[in-house]
Structure 1
Amino acid sequence: MDFTFDARTEELRARLLAFMDEHVHPAEQVADEQRAALDSPWANAPVVEELKAEARRQGLWNLFLPDSAYGAGLTNLQYAPLAEIMGRSPQLAPTATNCAAPDTGNMEVLAQFGDEQQKKQWLEPLLAGEIRSAFAMTEPDVASSDATNITTRIEREGDEYVVTGRKWYISGAMHPDCRIFIVMGKTDPDGADVRRQQSMILVPRDTPGVTIRRAMRVFGYEDHYHGGHAEVVFDRARVPVSNLIGEEGGGFAIAQARLGPGRIHHCMRLIGMAERAIELMCRRAVSRDAFGKALAQQGVVQNWIADARVAVEQLRLLVLKTAWMMDTVGNRGAHTEIQAIKIATPRAVVGILDRAIQLYGAGGVSQDHPLAELYAAARTLMIADGPDEVHQRSLARREIKKYR
């Protein structure tokens, strides 16, 4: 394994770092001020549109897509350090570069499984950043950590499918530019193979029978940089048969294909969040005095910073190894490593952010610093894309199987 950055990665890193320093970080406070004046807390602030235009001009656009026909054509290993850089400002950088969830995963699904009409109608405007999208899988009435539990029905009636069900925490659904849902439901609820009961279908947001019931908050935050989260009701929403993605019964496999890259992308960005936290800790430690000396001279603060650095270096190596394996043996071959980073990274980054908040005192939990919002995002990722315990269960089974 060689994690040395190649020439293209180094060049993109340099351009992205300059973009962050010159455009993104200075826009963070501006975006907050502009958003406060908007009618919708989930709409893009005007400065975000300016950032998107600048990112496109600089060629820092769709970096996440490995298919060069649609995106930058980077490997996971090449993308990892770029996603980490974007993770330092998760409120702005991923959206500015069109690398924000849930659109990234939805674009991957359409690029890999969509037919030509679906790509033209939905993938192309998503790639251009003209619209946003949402992925509707999680349900409030069942344990959605087991995807075979979902109850939403997708029933065929003639040349249409009828979608009925209730979803929640549907990321992106509150954004005014959200135009399309990828919905997972059951086309064959009584099928013998529980992993062939599900299908995925495209449901335009303006379809009769689709209702955004309410916005869902995350630790009290609107989570505007994910386009908000919503509870969505599908009440016999009718769409053409041609809106089915892939084949009937293929939904579970598509979900697994979507979630693998999504999990590693989250972990890449989490490392950037941790680096931002370490930087803020160090700046605070050298600028504040307590009990007659700088915080940086307090042993407990030194321990926090040292432990944070060790954790980040360990996590980065594990994420890079996972990216390398996904590139060389595929997502299935890297299944154990994907689960390992999904367990380890959010936990460690939550701990780092927790110490950074402690170091900032009251300021750490306030809106004057990004730490509280970063903490909420990191803590949520111990649940999103599969809770830790599900990944632990699967990982343990793989380990035990070796000895049977």
Structure 2
Amino acid sequence: MRTFKKILFKKALIIFIILIAIKANAQQDVDKVAVNGHNGIYIYNIFTPASAAHPDGEVVGFRLDRKERKEANWQTIQQFSTPATYEELNNNFELAKSKVFDYRPATAYTIAQVWPIFKKTFNYDSIGAYIAQQAMATAFNIILVDTTAKRDLTYQYKLVQVKRDGTEALSYISDPVSTKDAVVANKPKKFSRSADANVVKMEWRSKITGKLPEGLVVHRSDGLNMPFYRYTISYDVEHRGDTLIYRVEDQQIKKEQLYQYTITPVNVFGGGGVNVSDTIAAAVIDEFLLTPKVFNIKSDSLKNNITLNWSFERPDFISAVSIYRSTDYENGYERISAASGYNYVDNTVVAGQKYYYYLIVTDMMGKTSQRGVRAYGLVFREKKSGVATNVRVSAKNNQNVISWTDLNNDSRGYYVYR
């Protein structure tokens, strides 16, 4: 199993190892040091720290140039140096929090932790673990984010060492990069979900295609008809055979609140996401919400059927209702049907036989309720009554007395109209 933090840390170390060699090579070496990502294009600065206060030999700063692929001339978009004071580093860090793809306050290192170590030597050897986090690397100007890149254009970037006299030292140029560059990954299909106490756990799976994704963008919606928003949350990506398994666990939920989730495979900086997953709806549902607030039965002897009606406090949490029936109150119940609506008509009854029913409810998470209350229905052997004969009206004691002859032995009554 590989977590995002592990992927990011490994990616950072690999990039720095590879790019150390670039620094030692000729001035125009090209490498994939620019990657499209969240909020723009991310460019690696692989040079040794340098500032006016703490120069790297004659180098006191850096310059980031950019050109559109079809252009011949470079344009400078940023001039900077390695932070030389706590205040400078802290200001950079505050800006980086909202700029980078992955910033998690609960696990993020602070400037108060990092600065005392860095200021002893003003190099990166002792803070490798800290600068594996994107916000911290951006604060040190190890990662640069071009937020002005236009979506329809392809760019190249050149990072230049600037000497104290203003002349250039080493430089390197990135491969062409666009904000439209996509991560090649199959659409994650929903596989499972579960809810326990205040935790929702979900899993998607897909077959591997090309390069493995390095991260996920998770979106959440707080209801069936509510908009989705990016949701920063822990997740795991496991590579098993030819399958990728994505797991998301959400502990920031409320009971009886319906949530929806999607995931999108992306690169380490949150870019390239094009294949949005299936949507998974989930909720932590109390047992009492699976108990019908209304459950009644109506028998119709003319139609020879029994209709069951029910309703719930939160019908949006209900996935299916299973109907069980028996001719004995205590035993012998069998499942006769399942319904997703609010009623069921039993057309298989035999007149004169009493039937007992109860419901078992399945919520949207797949959890089933206990057996519900039992109710019964009975239809009579019914046929259209014959016409009453010998109908007579006689006056008696200032009243009209109506009488007739009933030729139907099973009549239950008559309506009299005037």
RCO (CA 8 Å, sep 6+): is it higher in 1 or 2?
A: 1
- Which structure shows the higher strand fraction? 2
TM-score clears 0.5? no
Structure of higher CA gyration radius? 2
- Which structure shows the higher helix fraction? 1
User: What is the TM-score when the length of structure 1 is the normalising length?
Assistant: 0.26
User: What is the TM-score when the length of structure 2 is the normalising length?
Assistant: 0.26
